[in-house]
Amino acid sequence: MSTQHDVSSLHSATHGANSSVSSFWVLFSVGLLYISFGVCFGLLEYSVPPILMTRGVNLQSMGWVIALYIPFGLTFLWAPIVDSRPLPWLSYRIGWIAVCQIISSLLLTVVAFGADFPASVLFTLGLMICFAVATMDLALDALAVDSIGSRYRAIAAALKVGALALGGFIGGGVLLGLFSCLGWKGVFLVTAALPLLTILPILTLTRADKQRSAASKRASIMATFHRPGALKQLGMLSVTTTAIIALFYFQRPILVEMGVPLEHIGWTLGTLSPVLNTLAAVGIVPLLARSSPVRILFVLVAVSGFAALGTTLSVEHKLTNVVIFWAIVQGMGCSALSVIIYALILKWAATDQSATDYAVLCGGSRLLVTLILMAVPTLLTHVSWGVFYTCCMFVLVIFSLILKDDVKKIAI
């Protein structure tokens, strides 16, 4: 039986199972969990580096913090287990989601009371949290792939990007802005509460979360790599995602180096940017439906190019508020680009081993991003921001040209 037939049967069965559940409730429940994921990821990505820098840790020493992203790139190693072995409670995907949310909440609570723990202990706890959150994200993405047909892939991609941006608003903006009031303990206790609160709606979907087909019980990484075009897809996603993330990742450290207080970063870039990123992610969906996706792709690439140039010139002239402006523009452009990237991943992962295929495509690209970002702080001691951003844009333009034929086929 062909893979396409298996996938069609899977979606038909899923549609029947979900007939009693409104599409709105499914999207709402999944979206809440993406927000929870976004808060934890936003805290790690946007708040922890500047907080540590104010405690005397320099930019060149941030590599070990970036290393916490490694679990998000390694999910393909245990994705076949998530695909083929349900836990003995709740339902097929939701069981994994619930357990991982509980584990991450407990570990975050430990971190909240461990501000004085040795760095090695905090790193170990952080790594364990990231393993739990990454596995939850893997199971949630697989649930989305299984439950959402091709008609709603762009909407689902926008939901993920928008929810992650909203999570970043809380984790990388509000919590950073309130750090002087809440302190280490308060920030991590708030973060620890969210996984437990956001899991409640998804528990109502257990009847719709059915067992996978017999083929999914034989899920394997090698089956993904043997799928025609999989290696090319992985390579294109990896390099393109690296360029997109590198364009906006270092803007907060830039502002810290320029002497901007944490509170100012949190209440400007940390709050305004995620809100606008959410609007950009949601707003790109109707544009993709009404215009050529390829044309929109290259408009967004051009926006990123202008933002990179603006950031470089603003840093050279020490214009901190202008750096914040261009960081916001860059974030909006990259969020909209990410919708296109996630829509492609959802399309390519719609197979009978969706968790594994999604993990290989998305996790593999994240792993490459992590490895490159770990090396960038050291690289930046030898090259200027102008050279760095020029390289990022060169890569983004080249791989956007390579991806254009696949972008044409995105279903809205």
Distance CA(8)–CA(344), nearest Å, equals: 18
pLDDT band per the 50, 70, 90 thresholds, residue 224 = confident
Q: Which of 346, 407, 361, 354 is nearest to 149 (CA)?
A: 346
Q: Name the residue ranges covered by the structural domains of the chain.
A: 3-407
Distance CA(363)–CA(141), nearest Å, equals: 11
CA dihedral 327, 331, 334, 339 (to 10 degrees): 180
Q: Which of 4, 73, 3 is nearest to 234 (CA)?
A: 73
Which superfamily, per CATH, for 3-407?
MFS general substrate transporter like domains (1.20.1250.20)
Could you read off the pLDDT of 61-116 as tens digits, one per residue? 566 677 777 888 788 888 888 877 877 777 778 889 999 999 999 999 998 998 88
171 has pLDDT over 80: yes
Single-letter amino acid code for the residue at 68: L
* Residue 329 Cα to chain centre, angstroms: 19
- Whole-model pTM? 0.69
Could you read off the pLDDT of 12-44 as tens digits, one per residue? 434 444 444 566 777 788 888 988 888 888 887
Pull the structure tokens for residue 295. Answer: 């044309």
